[in-house]
């Protein structure tokens, strides 16, 4: 749980790069998803949504209009926009995806499972497609390369590697089901790659 131990305290010299890192990003993404679900479905049992519960308690976010999810969604969205420069469209796509695929509480776990599979398959395909270009130090060039990789994954049909062919097929199927655009996928993957590059390398024991 590096998120709450690092994000909300002052950086020290040897912690540079940890605050706002990949773990923080993914935690905030999960908080946003859970907040949207709570608001849409009227979930009042916060224990069903562990990341949202931790976020709410740590930041002492007051419940808005006696409805869990509203204030938490707004606070989380603001943080994601400020720290990671995500735009309004990024969140609109999440909202639309959840509205389409989570019509009742019983569908929540299935949606999270689908999104996890989508995330894993997408990152696997991108890693294989970009390979050494992930090391590009310039943000604009890295974004362009990420955009090109996503485009290939969604449109290219000739893959020499059978495993890659299957992974790309899974990405496309899940993308269609969840309803995310290539732009959303690019913004999401770019942040994951950019933040992963900043993570300190683990020293051998």
The pTM of this model reads 0.85
Place 2 in a pLDDT band, splitting at 50, 70 and 90: very low
Instruction: Tally the residues of the chain.
Output: 205
pLDDT of residue 203: 53
Where are the chain's structural domains?
1-86, 109-199
127-129-135 Cα angle (round to 5): 60
- For residue 169 the two structure tokens come to 């097929």
143-150 contacts at long range (C-beta below 8 A, 24 or more positions apart): 143/186, 143/190, 146/186, 146/189, 146/190, 146/193, 147/182, 147/186, 147/190, 149/125, 149/189, 150/126, 150/182, 150/185, 150/186, 150/189
- CA 175 from centre of chain: 14
pLDDT tens digits, residue range 25-38?
999 999 999 999 99
Which regions of 43-193 does DSSP assign to beta strands (E)? none
How many other C-beta atoms can be found within 10 angstroms of the C-beta atom of residue 60? Answer: 6
31-68 pLDDT, tens digit each: 999 999 999 999 999 999 999 999 999 999 999 999 99
Q: Is the pLDDT of residue 9 over 50?
A: no
DSSP state string for 12-65: -GGGTTTTT-HHHHHHHHHHHHHHHHHHHHT---GGG-HHHHHHHHHHTPPPBT
| 7 has pLDDT over 60 | no
Place of tokens 């996928």: 185
State pLDDT tens for residues 171-199. 999 999 999 999 999 999 999 988 887 76
* pLDDT tens-digit map of 134-151: 666 668 888 999 999 999
Instruction: Judge contact between 75 and 59, C-beta under 8 A.
Output: yes
> Tell me, what's the pLDDT at 132?
60
In angstroms, the CA 99 to CA 105 distance is 12
């Amino acid at each position: 749980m590096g998120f709450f131990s690092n994000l909300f305290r002052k950086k020290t010299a040897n912690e540079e790069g940890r605050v706002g890192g990949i773990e923080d990003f993914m935690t905030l993404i999960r908080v946003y998803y859970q907040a949207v679900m709570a608001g849409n479905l009227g979930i009042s049992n916060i224990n069903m949504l562990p990341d949202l519960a931790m976020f709410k308690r740590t930041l002492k976010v007051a419940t808005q209009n006696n409805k869990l999810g509203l204030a938490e969604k707004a606070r989380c969205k603001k943080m994601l926009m400020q720290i990671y420069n995500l735009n309004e469209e990024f969140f609109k796509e999440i909202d639309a995806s959840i509205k389409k695929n989570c019509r009742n509480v019983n569908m929540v776990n299935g949606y999270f499972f689908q999104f996890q599979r989508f995330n894993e398959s997408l990152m696997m395909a991108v890693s294989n497609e970009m390979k050494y270009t992930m090391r590009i130090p310039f943000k604009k060039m890295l974004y362009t390369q990420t955009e090109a990789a996503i485009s290939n994954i969604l449109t290219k049909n000739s893959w020499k590697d059978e495993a890659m062919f299957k992974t790309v097929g899974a990405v496309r199927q899940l993308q269609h089901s969840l309803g995310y655009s290539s732009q959303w996928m690019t913004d999401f993957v770019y942040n994951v790659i950019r933040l992963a590059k900043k993570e300190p390398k683990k020293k051998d024991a």
